[in-house]
Structure 1
């Protein structure tokens, strides 16, 4: 199962000393397995693959929710300088946006629409989704999206 860590990380009294850690990159996806034996094809996700991705997305949501709570506690801490609070508020907006993206992905997993390209509707290969669970474009549409 997923290790959610201890409650000590939620202690708002320590938020000032942990601010740099709050902006760390989310944990990698250690629970991804070598799935060559469970893959149906590059274009269809099996129930096992969906379960693996759903678990990873839930872990991301938990991590981002915890990060958001820590940031909000830091903003409300009187010991944090006013100049630092504007940066924290920007971080909160960023985390709220990324949390919304994770929630959207989890909703699409539940609705069995996960893994379809938002650009062309084609299936996104499992290997891409495994590497980037929040990917919403196939590689061709991603290139077009990035190049304008």
Structure 2
């Protein structure tokens, strides 16, 4: 699907793919560190929260990379409309446009 993109758009997606791939690797490494048992029961609750956050990040970034590969990146999963570039710059793994995100959060 990405074969019909303007060269500037293809370049932007290539840059984004590289940045997301790096972010995926960073979060995966962090998750590996967090899951190593330190043996300190006092840190167990905090570590579990950090593990959950790292897993969410890995999942979100992986999903964004999958949408890029499938040619669906930048489209709202609810209404199929475009997600504004400004939103994607702030939140590259955004799945919804703002109106649909607000409805999804309810």
TM over 0.5: yes
1:80-136 deviations in whole A, cap 9, x for unaligned? x21211321232122112211111110111111111101201111222212210111
Cα RMSD (Å): 1.8
Distance 1:120 1:89 in 2: 35
2:14 corresponding residue in structure 1: 51
Q: Which runs of 5+ in 2 are unaligned?
A: 1-5
> How many residues end up aligned between the 2 structures?
100
**2:45 equivalent among 78, 86, 91:** 86
- SS of match in other structure, 1:46: helix
TM-score, normalised by the number of residues in structure 1: 0.61
Query: Is the 2:17–2:68 contact (alpha carbons within 8 Å) kept by the matching residues of 1?
Result: yes
1:26-48 deviations in whole A, cap 9, x for unaligned? xxxxxxxxxxxxxx6xxxx8111
Distance 1:125 1:62 in 2: 26
TM-score, normalised by the number of residues in structure 2: 0.82
Distance 1:126 1:49 in 2: 11
Distance 2:53 2:89 in 1: 23
Q: Is the radius of gyration larger for structure 1 or structure 2?
A: 1
2:32 corresponding residue in structure 1: 69
2:23 corresponding residue in structure 1: 60
